[in-house]
Structure 1
Amino acid sequence: MRRRAERPGLSTKSSCHDSARAERTACHLAEQFVRTSLGTFSSTPTTAAELAAKCHKADLEGRWKTCMRFFAGPKLLIIDELGYLPLPEDGASALFQVINQRYLKSSTILTTNVGIADWAGAFGDATVAAAMLDRLLHRAAVAGIDGPSYRLRGHQNQADAMRKGVNARVS
């Protein structure tokens, strides 16, 4: 399903998050950054777990090359939530193969809450992690985002309001 973005001629596939989730996820921020910076582009947003699952299913069904062509196709691939869920060994290998085939040909944005030094543990294989980082960090821009969680901000505001109400009654 395609949707129109704010700029004319700009189209992307549907977001990597369903509409019930918060709009300001890292994936959404990445899409907006590219939209405002580059203008027209084709992109495919996905999560790391979804990418691994699609590759695993394609392998079982004998459609591995088709799956690899699918992920090689867009000018921009946004892989969200890398390291959020553990990847099986074949999932880490599939992710490496996607990164490897896109290396120096297409752009890839990764969002993760795992530090670069901890990637070996996240993938369960230091060799795969090192090879992937080698390709990703060559010609890369790494942007660290620090601060409170966007998803917890509403909860924190609600807790603060309840605390003020309780304190007002006690006084």
Structure 2
Amino acid sequence: MRGLEVIYTYMEKLDQYTIEQLRYRKKPGTWSIGQVYSHIIDVALEYLDNIRQCEESCSEQPLGKTEAGERLFGEGAFPPVKIKLPEGMEYSPNDAKNKADHLHDLNQLIDNIRAWDLRIAAIPPSYKVRHGGFGWLNAREWHDLIDMHTRHHLRQIKEIEEQWNKVTVDR
């Protein structure tokens, strides 16, 4: 599953959730399904903004990816492990949105991705924006990172769904 297909998967799943499921947390400090949705959308919009910065930079960047970036792009996916952000970079995504809010945000994200799909090939690959962990990425790489990041969080969604199913069976 690649590209918009993964976002459509999130949309299909969204239709199945109750508001209680969207906001369920296994324990304090963990994310709900709704927070994962907010996170993937927020990050994708940030990465789309980085594509815009690549387009507008009009200057070549000779530096490339870090070792971690080379590994990530070589694999074409995040490793199947939980990733802990460095201290000070943690945040708690919005948990107040309902299904309609998430659906609206996903539809807007799809529109934005489609708009960039039409323009991305014209952006020189030497125009780059720095990612804190993966190094200097060009517009195509930022676009691919949206896909990899969004797919990565499907594992987290599955884990939360499994925990929800355990809790509701035990009731």
Fold equivalence (TM over 0.5)? no
TM-score w.r.t. length of structure 1: 0.25
Larger helix proportion, structure 1 or 2? 2
Which one scores higher on RCO, CA 8 angstroms, separation ≥ 6? 2
Larger strand proportion, structure 1 or 2? 1
TM-score w.r.t. length of structure 2: 0.25
Return the index of the structure with the highest Cα Rg: 1
